[in-house]
Amino acid sequence: MTEDIYQNLSSLGQNVEAPKTPEEAVLETVPNPHKGVQYVVRFTAPEFTSLCPVTGQPDFAHIVIDYIPAEKLVESKSLKMFLTAHRNHGAFHEDCTVSIGKRIVDATDTRWLRIAGYWYPRGGIPIDVFWQTGPAPKGVWIPDQEVSPYRGRG
Active site residues per annotation: 52, 59
H or E segment and range at residue 68: strand 58-68
